[in-house]
Structure 1
């Protein structure tokens, strides 16, 4: 008598599996759309016709249906986007780096003044309440206009 066989199909390799989570697929499509909405991508599809593209040489859009962790997916998108930047237009004049620009700017002189010492006797501890100087308190109630209360 032979042992009972398991009725489940053999597990698929990770290469054969497809991502099915709709939220994850939507997020991945959003990242792909960001990459395709660049000047570099537009220039790439103009310069390299689809039939001339070679894997490993030309950037290929990551497969959003491939099973991959978030970190692995982000790495694929980042590499794809970096590869697309090779097709970005070159600036007409070389832009100085931020360090070179900082060296060329004139330094702004900083004036430091020492703190002023206020004697404690001038603080007015015996002055009274801050509300003592208000003039409204001295007006008779008949002179107060209703508009002043708003």
Structure 2
């Protein structure tokens, strides 16, 4: 029985639209106190966030965590680079995939797992414009089918 308490804080809605996600990884994130408090308030934005690997470590860049409004002068920088915590073998596996053409690491979600803040990152390949159109068409068709089923059930 899995008794993990998971509370989703923020989801990157554009990630699945712009990238075809092939695999997902759960990573811890190194934060300072005011960042944790701001995340608890849900003040996170994935606008241009991405992850990259440097010196066998993985970093999350351009993740915007708004300053905590009740902090005095020790507030954090909102766009600072944050280190992600993954096993070394996972980082090596990701590094070998990223070296292939077209793969990138995209943050998908930030959530609480028990009392720890976790980031779900996805290994994805950028979608072309026609792929985006195709996925929008499929989503619209699914929505129309669901509407028809709902009408028929009444």
What TM-score results when the alignment is normalised by the length of structure 2?
Answer: 0.20
What TM-score results when the alignment is normalised by the length of structure 1?
Answer: 0.20
- The structure with the largest strand share of the pair is 2
Larger Rg: 1
